[in-house]
Amino acid sequence: MDDFTKRNYYLLFILLLSLLLVIHRDYPENVEQFRFKNVVIFGDSYSDDGNAYRVSKRKWPLVPPYYRGRFCNGPIWTDQLKVPGVLNYAYGGATTDNNFVQGSTAINTVKVPGVRQQIEMYFNQSNSNTIDFARTLYIIWAGSNDFLFQPTLTPTEIIASLLNGVQDLRKLGAKNFLIFNQIPAQYVPNLQGFAPANVLSELTNASNVALVTGIKEIQQKNSQTLLNIFDITSIISKAVQSKSDYFKNTTANCWNPVNLTTVLNFCGNPEKFVFLDTLHLTSRMHGLIADAIRQFLLTSFEVNSSGYYIH
């Protein structure tokens, strides 16, 4: 073999080695590390990635300034999870069950499916015989709108309705759940004039106690079902209480939706706020939620190692 041929083989070897390194670098390292291959989401505007926008014929939320049909100024937590196999059935304005409290969006002009109706939609669109329930995680974040639409309801009544959805899924074969508890009502701008902060805090605590009690009862009767609670109360409370360079304003809202065509802007940089408008969170706050949930999805995660999970 002459020097020219040797040199060509050497260059070819270097080229192939470089290509393999590029492929390895670009291939997502955590693909085989996720405990679940599918994530199915049910809920309201905190999780909606455009469903209410579509059903309202692109009238609500107003785009711009809202981001691509999300109730946010940027990607929400479901976008920022960055995991494969996500199905999102959440609708802005949704309640736990339309037969309990009717949910609606576009400032109460368009009816939307509640969580139990979303679950029905999911199974109507799926073949339950092909669902790998052992590798599918069901996430539910709902309950706030039940109270907003019908303030006379008690926390126990709302949580009972939420858990009906959990039971619907379980009876159809679901085994793995992540259920959000309630956001701290005392910090939500829209509720500031509704009641004193201590009363709102008590409502949140009562809801969370009822959720833990209900989840434990289901778990005890169904040992093959794994239910975890995502402590959204704590993650938002810590963001509000720990003022830092990360969030400059933790109590006020940056935007204020007036009607279907007008959203007032009170700030120049929403990402310095916890709350984007009178109800919803900024994209940065959603990022913190996504980071915490992503950890839960990894095979290396230990439930008791995170303060944001109640097992």
Segment 249-297, tens digit of pLDDT: 888 999 999 999 999 998 989 999 999 999 999 999 999 999 999 988 9
User: What separation in angstroms does the CA of 301 have from each of 88, 227, 233?
Assistant: 23, 15, 21
Burial class (CB in 10 A: 0-12, 13-18, 19+), 7: exposed
Q: What is the DSSP letter of 80?
A: H
- pLDDT tens per residue across span 145-164: 999 999 999 999 999 999 99
pTM: 0.88
Tokens linked to 200? 């709102």
List Cβ neighbours of 238 (8 Å cut-off, separation of 6 or more).
none
pLDDT at 28 over 50: no
Average pLDDT over residues 233-245: 87
Q: Supply the pLDDT for residue 13.
A: 43
- pLDDT tens per residue across span 102-116: 999 999 999 999 999
pLDDT at 303 over 50: yes
Q: Which residue has the tokens 């790998």?
A: 132
Q: How many other CB atoms are found less than 10 A from the CB of residue 285?
A: 26
Q: Which residues partner with 253 through β-bridges?
A: 275
CA-closest candidate to residue 131, choices 38, 23, 63, 205: 38
SS3 label, residue 107 = coil
Residue 14's pLDDT band (cuts 50, 70, 90) = very low
Q: What DSSP string describes 185-224?
A: GGG-GGGTTTS-HHHHHHHHHHHHHHHHHHHHHHHHH-TT
pLDDT > 90: percent of the chain:
75
The CA distance from 20 to 13, in Å, is 11
Residue 243's pLDDT band (cuts 50, 70, 90) = confident
For residue 64, is the peptide bond before it cis, meaning its omega torsion is within 30 degrees of 0?
Answer: yes
Q: Count Cα neighbours of 89 within 13 Å in the Cβ-side half-sphere.
A: 24
pLDDT at 23 over 50: no
Average pLDDT over residues 229-258: 89
DSSP strand pairing (249-253 vs 136-141)? unpaired
List Cβ neighbours of 96 (8 Å cut-off, separation of 6 or more).
114, 115, 116, 142, 143, 146, 158, 161, 162, 164, 165
